[in-house]
Amino acid sequence: MSIYETLVEIIDLRSFSNLWYWIGLAVIWSSASHWVLGVPYDLVLRARRHGGQHYQDLQDLVRINVNRILGIVEISGMWLVGFVSFMLTGLTLLSFWYDVEFAQALFFIAFPMTFVGMMSYTTARQIRRDAPEGEALFALLSRHRFFVQLIGMLALLVTAMFGMYQNLTLGPFQDL
């Protein structure tokens, strides 16, 4: 076995068999479930337990981030929808029509994150409309986090299944 074959076997640069892709995917979903509408979830738990200044900080951060999210959508919402649709369509074509593995890897990150983005917008609108306080705010943020985690688990499952399928069908020396 030559040194090149050994290196290719040890360091596989394809997306679904690359450890760095899976580490990055785990970090993305971990961050998405920790930052609920831009508010760290540990602050939500601290505000629920201790109240006082922690609760005031939570309310301020929620207000700031809700205004930021809704401001972005009000100013450039249609452009954002068009751009995201264009990018997802391009990724879908590259992924499944042209069979580009890197595009497939990006698609399995971007597609479920669009649902998280839409959910964040919906939750921000609900917070502005209802102005929940206390337990109602905690419940809303916790529910949002639960559904982000649910989307993340489903996305990780589908990505892992597709990645395993890719690795089994292509094999380690397909490109040689």
Q: Note the pLDDT of residue 176.
A: 47
DSSP letters for the chain? --HHHHHHHHS--SSTT-HHHHHHHHHHHHHHHHEETTEEHHHHHHHHHH-HHHHHHHHHHHHHHHHHHHHHHHHHHHHHHHHHHHHHHHHHIIIIIS--HHHHHHHHHHHHHHHHHHHHHHHHHHHHHH---THHHHHHHHHHHHHHHHHHHHHHHHHHHHHHHHHHHH-TTS--
The pLDDT-based confidence of 140 (bands split at 50, 70, 90) is very high
Give a yes or no: residue 103 inside a domain.
yes
Per-residue pLDDT of 73-122, as tens digits, reads 999 999 999 999 999 999 999 999 998 888 999 999 999 999 999 999 99
Per-residue pLDDT of 27-56, as tens digits, reads 999 999 999 999 999 999 999 999 889 999
Give a yes or no: residue 151 inside a domain.
yes
Per-residue pLDDT of 56-81, as tens digits, reads 999 999 999 999 999 999 999 999 99
- Residue 110 lies in domain: 46-161
Give a yes or no: residue 28 inside a domain.
no
Give a yes or no: residue 113 inside a domain.
yes
Give a yes or no: residue 84 inside a domain.
yes
Res. 125: pLDDT tops 90 = yes
The domain tally of the chain equals 1
Give a yes or no: residue 50 inside a domain.
yes
Give a yes or no: residue 33 inside a domain.
no
Q: What is the pTM of this model?
A: 0.84
